Amino acid sequence: MSTAGTRTLFAINPALDRAALARRFAERGRVQVRDVLTAESAREILTVLARGTPWGMAVGAGKDRPQSFRAEETKTPQGQQALGSAFKAAEQHTARGDYGFRFAHYPILTAVQEGWVGNEAHEILLEHINAPEFMALAREITGIDTLFKADGQATLYAPGHYLGRHIDSHVAEGWEVAYVLNFAREDWHPDWGGYLLFLDEDGDVVEGFRPRFNALNLFRVPTSHMVSYVPPFAPMGRMAVTGWLRTK
């Protein structure tokens, strides 16, 4: 990536009403920050995600350890067989009301730690999320002054993908706030699913965030939430960078 590109990859919108966003987060423990980045930055990140990301798959079934398949694995007969078995297990658990999920992903932090080839733009993106400017924004909105680092993965919810109801209860690992930096199509329609939904103890939806282009979702964890099923007729477009803001 060019030097000019790295300068514009992650610039926060200076017009954000941070005080109003902080009040809403204090009231509900969650907020969607629309137009969080400058338009130029948002377009550049979209280019990285859409054109420069070798999408693998993330699949979870019940309490078993989630499985991550690299892009090259999904193209081999053995990988396709393993992925099919993982899909089936996820569906069976979800059908019983247990936890399950499947979506395309690129584990940025893992790629950085393991030195994956071609990871340069994603590594720069993760560095920007951990930079003082973004962390200061997160601390100001959430009121949690001890936030100091973030992990991250790129995610893509295509037709047939979903994330079952769960709470993200990794408090011991320092998870305080989940973030979703959205780059969905600007014309994302409600019928296409992929909504971030928050639920009460009875399973009723108490609030939902539509996938939007250049929108940052922040919410305290643990809290009951899910990403709704993306139907077969939906377009390929629900891309995001997601992870947790940590205190340790």
Q: What is the pLDDT of residues 71-101, one digit of tens each?
A: 999 999 999 999 999 999 999 999 999 999 9
What is the rounded average pLDDT for all residues in the chain?
94
Residue 7 has pLDDT above 80, yes or no: no
Q: Is 49 exposed, middle or buried (0-12, 13-18, 19+ CB in 10 A)?
A: buried
Q: 49 in a domain, yes or no?
A: yes
Q: Which tokens belong to 137?
A: 């924004």
Residue 174 has pLDDT above 90, yes or no: no
Q: 3 in a domain, yes or no?
A: no
Q: 99 in a domain, yes or no?
A: yes
Q: 193 in a domain, yes or no?
A: yes
pLDDT tens for each residue of 10-58 = 999 999 999 999 999 999 999 999 999 999 999 999 999 999 999 999 9
Amino acid letter, 95? A
Predicted local confidence at residue 173, as pLDDT = 78
pTM of the model: 0.94
Q: Measuring CA to CA, how many Å separate 112 from each of 3, 56, 119, 142?
A: 20, 16, 7, 27
Task: Work out the pLDDT band at 120, boundaries 50, 70, 90.
Answer: very high
Q: 11 in a domain, yes or no?
A: no
Q: What percent of the chain has pLDDT over 70?
A: 96
The span from the CA of 76 to the CA of 17, in Å, is 49
The span from the CA of 194 to the CA of 180, in Å, is 12
Residue 127 has pLDDT above 60, yes or no: yes
Task: Work out the pLDDT band at 1, boundaries 50, 70, 90.
Answer: very low
Q: What is the CATH number of the domain that holds 139?
A: 2.60.120.620
pLDDT tens for each residue of 179-200 = 999 999 999 999 999 999 999 9
Task: Work out the pLDDT band at 172, boundaries 50, 70, 90.
Answer: low
Q: 12 in a domain, yes or no?
A: no
Of 4-8, 144-148, 217-221, the range with the lowest mean pLDDT is 4-8
- Total domains present in the chain: 1
Q: Measuring CA to CA, how many Å separate 104 from each of 46, 114, 129, 164?
A: 16, 19, 21, 15
Task: Give the residue numbers spanning the domain of 217.
Answer: 17-246
Q: 9 in a domain, yes or no?
A: no
Residue 111 has pLDDT above 90, yes or no: yes
